[in-house]
Chain A
Amino acid sequence: MEFVVFLIAGAIVVGGAIGVLAFANPVHAALSLVATLFGVAVLFVAQNAQFLAAVQVIVYAGAIVVLFLFVIMLLGVDRSDDLRVEPIVGQRPLALLAGVGVLAASLVAVLSAGGSTATRTVRSTAVAIPTEEPDVTSLGRLLFTDHVLALEITAILLTVAVVGAVVLARRPGRDEPSVEADVEAEA
């Protein structure tokens, strides 16, 4: 049963990924990306990680790709760009090289760690989360105990990103020093 689910979801994931690369129209490519994200969410559910699946759909499919599409729609770049033009010289060979490298690295990782079926079953039972506790609870506990530093740093990073986005997006209207002017106006 799990194997069948894996096959179908895996096919969707790979198909979507190929679609992202193959479609000339950016909107179609973004939709393929949604399919991939969905496939991954299904795989999460099959692994009993419902929380991750839900977050995957809410954050990636429901927010990030929506923003991609939003930008595509607003900028009107939906008429497929000319793919023969190479914006940065040497980008494509380097990208190919990097892609092959990543693929090789992950293959090595899977093959060396995968081993025989016996070791795999042993590992999966050893790592198995106690099923009485919902995965949200265990995730939350881990995040706020063992990994609290990483969590806080991520939070700061996100805050910095938001502030940076606001600063960059602000239209430089009149000559800059606005805060001081406001203080003077107040006084």
Chain B
Amino acid sequence: MGDPLYAGGIGLTVVLVTLLKVLVTFVLLLVATMFMVWFERKIVADMQHRIGPNRAGPWGLLQTLADGTKLFFKEDLLPDRADRIVFRLAPVLAVVPAFLAFAIVPIGGNFAEGGTVSMFGRETFLQLADPPVGVLFFLAMSGIGVYGVMLAGWSSGSKYPLLGGVRATAQIVSYEAALGLSLASVILVNGTLSTHQIVAEQAGAGFGGIIPNWNLVVTGVVPAIIFLIAGTAELNRPPFDLVEAEQELVGGFNTEYSSIRFALFFLAEFMNTVTMSALVVTLFLGGPSGPVWGPEPVRTWFFPIFWFLLKLVVFLFVFVWFRGTLPRLRYDQLMDLGWKALIPLALGWFLLLGAVRVARNEGWNLVVTFGAITVVVVVAVTLLNLSLRAAQRQRLADAEVNA
């Protein structure tokens, strides 16, 4: 258990390898973010029949760098009514968890052979850290990320940021429940919290040797979809970007920010997007697993990283696609979707997976089990629907009385 790098005590090589991994993770995340900003602008431009950035560097690839430099040298404003300390603290609270969350993502390693690579004669995982509570670490970091947005909204001492901050808090706290519950299905099936173990569980061949043994299949697609939706809401990305809805809130929580502090929020947002995509890949699509060929360095280094990056780009594209095609939700629709659709569905699916698992372990009759499950599901859905309709009727009646 745990990274074999630390099994034999901590020497100079171990420290150096760890430092190298820190550096690579940091740079990789920054480069991925830079690429993601460009990618998003290009794709959205294509979807809207525009050209998009095409001036700085080949195909406009260096546009983000130019924008970053520009932001760096702009004047840093501090509003008169701002809370000085918290106003300065908020961007940092947004960026630091965004960096840390990526540390638990396995970005390579051939998991058919233990998932390790050798670096300077040491076997190690290709991920910065593999804490035994890896997935919870991610949840904790995204929970801390809320503070950045919320405090930015509050400390600006102005009403649009405050409204944006309040919206953000409500939204993120609501969708964290759905996110956690869909994660619970993965944890139940894999029986571990460590991201490395989760990927290792998905490594072998699955059904008929053709369909991969990914959690996407094993948990039955629903948790993956819930995770993707809740993740998009967690990121405040369209169609869940009420936090910074330009038409209503000027710019939302970051209205009063300028210069490098604004850039930090921007950076955090895109880093979170990259991390969330990486997590979807890790949890549901087997992370770096995929067919590998060739001699030693190619087989353990090149292919896993290639597969990981390929899957990552697919999900980054999905996030941009959402933005390019979906209209923003209304606030009540957002809350309805979170509380009345995603959370009951995620919880029900979790119970279902648990029931199937117990039935298989105890050797119960499959037909009886599935019959019972169907009955329970029908009853539960009917009850939920009835209660929702009753609540809605009452709300309408209340509105009539009050009007």
A contact residues vs B (CB 8 Å cutoff): 25, 27-28, 31, 34, 50-51, 53-55, 57-58, 61-63, 66-67, 69-70, 73-74, 78, 132, 134-136, 171, 173-174, 178-179, 182, 185
Of B132, B176, B398, the contact of A136 (CB 8 Å cutoff):
B132
> Do A69 and B150 touch (CB < 8 A)?
yes
> Do A73 and B402 touch (CB < 8 A)?
no
Chain B positions 134 through 147: 1 when the CB is less than 8 Å from some CB of chain A, otherwise 0: 00110110111011
> Do B402 and A27 touch (CB < 8 A)?
no
> Do B166 and A62 touch (CB < 8 A)?
no
Of B144, B166, B397, the contact of A174 (CB 8 Å cutoff):
B397
- Assuming the contacts A54-B139, A57-B140, asked whether A182 and B165 have C-beta atoms less than 8 A apart, the reply is no
In the complex, 29 of the A-B residue pairs with CB atoms within 8 angstroms, ordered by the A residue number, are: A27-B154, A27-B155, A28-B85, A31-B86, A51-B193, A54-B133, A54-B136, A54-B137, A58-B136, A58-B139, A61-B140, A62-B139, A62-B143, A62-B176, A66-B143, A66-B173, A69-B147, A70-B150, A73-B150, A73-B166, A73-B169, A134-B132, A135-B132, A171-B398, A173-B401, A179-B390, A182-B390, A182-B393, A182-B394
Chain B interface main SS type: helix
CA–CA, A174 and B144, complex, Å: 41
CA–CA, A113 and B112, complex, Å: 51
| B3 interface residue (CB < 8 Å to A) | no
Most buried by A among B85, B165, B170, B394: B394
Query: Smallest Cβ distance from A80 to chain B, in angstroms?
Result: 12
Chain A interface main SS type: helix
Of A50, A53, A57, A136, the contact of B144 (CB 8 Å cutoff):
A57
Residues of A within 8 A of B348 (CB): none
CA–CA, A69 and B150, complex, Å: 8
Chain B residue with the shortest CB-CB distance to A182: B390
CA–CA, A53 and B131, complex, Å: 11
A-contacting residues, B116-174, CB 8 Å: 131-133, 136-137, 139-140, 142-144, 146-147, 150-151, 153-155, 162, 165-166, 169-170, 173
Chain B residue with the shortest CB-CB distance to A78: B154
CA–CA, A67 and B154, complex, Å: 14
Residues of A within 8 A of B131 (CB): 50
Residues of A within 8 A of B176 (CB): 62-63
Query: Smallest Cβ distance from B399 to chain A, in angstroms?
Result: 8
> Do B193 and A132 touch (CB < 8 A)?
no
> Do A69 and B140 touch (CB < 8 A)?
no
> Do A50 and B132 touch (CB < 8 A)?
yes
> Do A185 and B143 touch (CB < 8 A)?
no
Query: Smallest Cβ distance from A79 to chain B, in angstroms?
Result: 11
Most buried by B among A51, A62, A136: A62
Query: Smallest Cβ distance from B177 to chain A, in angstroms?
Result: 9
Residues of B within 8 A of A63 (CB): 143, 173, 176
| B210 interface residue (CB < 8 Å to A) | no
Query: Smallest Cβ distance from B170 to chain A, in angstroms?
Result: 7
Of A62, A70, A73, A173, the contact of B140 (CB 8 Å cutoff):
A62
Of B83, B173, B398, the contact of A173 (CB 8 Å cutoff):
B398
- Assuming the contacts A27-B154, A182-B390, asked whether A51 and B139 have C-beta atoms less than 8 A apart, the reply is no
CA–CA, A57 and B138, complex, Å: 11
Residues of B within 8 A of A182 (CB): 390, 393-394
Chain B residue with the shortest CB-CB distance to A179: B390
